[in-house]
Structure 1
Amino acid sequence: MTPYSTTTTPSRFLLLGDSHAGPIGRAAKGAGIPFSGGPIGAVREFNAGFFDPREDDVVFRKPEADRFYRTFLDELGVAGLGGLDVPLVSTFGFSAHFVATTENWQVYRVRSAREGSDKGVAGFAPGFLSSGLFEDIVRATVRDALAFYRHARGLGLRVLAVMPPQRVPAQSDPAVFMAAQDIVREALLALGVEIVDLRARVTDETGFQRPELCEADDVIHGNLAFGRLILADLLGRGL
């Protein structure tokens, strides 16, 4: 995992995330925008059980992730997250393709859909994807990502969360992907987190990411052009 910090001048934000943070970091580095941070692990690692809160900080349970994090704090000249005086930008919790892994949702499909006939949306009973049960499952799946943002907001930080590329790999359910990311989005808005949501700008008529914004030979990531759009949005918010 490669961080993308650039610290020749005072950083304008701290970037913490999974691999989806990569294009953001590359875009900022290429544009000469000073920042600290970058991806510190894979998308599957930042939903549950990945950190422990401290009074004015966090500790990442994976040693490599915590080592990267401590390096970023050193670059910023602070001892913990609570000492941050620049905004925090993160992609944690928005690994919607992981949440939407098709096999995990088979038990919730109606019998006729599992046997091959259509029933409701993506084989679910009508209303399932907008139900309280579905929301509870999604929130439970990303519970510690939500807890991370809640802790950061409790420390008084300005926090911005970046929604994922609108790409769904073959092993994931597109309907679950779409519904799950909206649940995470609403949960974070309720915490006072700002959401970088570029869906209207990066998708085509299918609702999925336009090819020119997709990483080549890759089924989930956005490319540098996508990262530049995210960076432009961040700069437009005053970062």
Structure 2
Amino acid sequence: MPSLTTTAPARFLLLGDSHAGPIGQAARQAGIPFQGGPIGAGREFTDSFFTTRHGTGGSDVVFHSGEAEEHYRRFLKELGVGALAELGIPLVATFGFCAHFVALRENWDLYRDRTGAIAPAFLAGTLFDTVVRGAVRDALAFYEYAVDLGLRVLAVMPPQRVPGQSDAAVFMAAQERIRLAVTELGVDVVDLRHRTTGPDGLQRPDLCEADDEVHGNLAFGRIVLAELLDRGL
């Protein structure tokens, strides 16, 4: 997804997985200038996806994926900056919030009781927290690095959709642990669950991408964009 082409200054840099797509689409349709978009799949941005670089060009990140790095460099060039440390606008990201990967059923079979369920006490416990944070440790490191550079960072929570291969209870518990971990780093987490879900806690059908188990649609992206604008972007 390309960023909006406009002569107006970009209001934010958008980096993330496919969940960033509807946000960028909504911004383009609304005429909100921004730079960025999805640079890879969600599972690519949990662990070991970047390194840091320090030098005369400024402190920066280097993405391990050639495709992600190519997109990122193009975005920076369009903004007229050479490194993340030079970014003068907020960074909006979706990294680390692919909780459906963390919640894959087969990953948690060891912790099920005889009924096949996972005890709420386990999901609220220290071991679960440690495992989840470990699964997204590089995403947390990315956010920490960006905050330490002095950037304003906003992380957008994902659509509340649980595909069949994932455990819904683990999904809900894992994303809450991720939200808390990201918040602790000084990141402004955009949590719109109260506006986008039904009584069951799952994404409302009118905000779901058709024929898709995971993503939100343009209407969902518009809600996220409106929240970003309300927060000063």
The residue number in structure 1 matching 2:124 is 130
The separation in 2 between residues aligned to 1:133 and 1:154, in whole angstroms, is 28
- Tell me if 1:185 matches 2:188: no
Unaligned runs of 5+ in 2: none
**1:69-93, Cα deviation, whole Å (9 max, x unpaired):** 0000001111100000000000000
Q: How do 1:14-163 and structure 2 match up within 5 A?
A: 14-55=13-54, 56-110=59-113, 112-114=114-116, 123-163=117-157
Q: Distance in 2 between matches of 1:98 and 1:7?
A: 36
* CA 5–54 in structure 1, closer or farther in 2 if over 3 Å, else same: farther
Q: How far 1:140 sits from its partner (Å)?
A: 0.3
Could you tell me which residue of structure 1 aligns to residue 213 of structure 2? 219
Q: Take 2:224 and 2:102, find their aligned partners in 1: how far apart are those partners?
A: 23
Q: Which amino acid is the alignment partner of residue 107 of structure 2?
A: N
The Cα of 1:5 is off from its aligned counterpart by: 3.9
Cα root mean square deviation, aligned: 0.9
Paired position in structure 2 for 1:235: 229
Q: Match for 1:59: what amino acid?
A: V
- Superposed displacement of residue 48, structure 1: 0.4
Aligned residue number for residue 117 of structure 1:
none
Q: Partner residue of 1:171? A: 165
When normalised by structure 1's length, the TM-score is: 0.94
* SS class of match (2:169): helix
**SS of residue in 2 equivalent to 1:127:** helix
Using the alignment, how far apart are the partners of 2:21 and 2:35 within structure 1?
12
Q: CA deviation at 1:126?
A: 4.6
Other structure's SS at 1:113 match: coil
- In structure 1, runs of 5+ residues without a counterpart are 115-122
Distance, in Å, in 1 between the alignment partners of 2:109 and 2:169 is 13
For 2:60, the aligned partner's letter is D
Q: Who is 1:119 aligned against? A: none
Q: Deviations over 1:162-221 (max 9, x none)?
A: 000000000000000000111111111111100111000000111100000000010000
TM-score by length of 2: 0.96
In 2, distance between residues paired with 1:54 and 1:100?
32
Tell me the SS of whatever aligns to 2:115. Answer: helix
- Residue 138 of structure 1: how far off its partner (Å): 0.2
Name the structure 2 match of 1:197.
Answer: 191
Q: Deviation at 1:108? A: 1.3
Tell me, in whole angstroms, the C-alpha distance in 2 between the residues paired with 1:219 and 1:153: 32
Amino acid in the other structure paired with 1:113? T
On the 8 A contact 1:20/1:221 being kept in 2, the answer is: yes
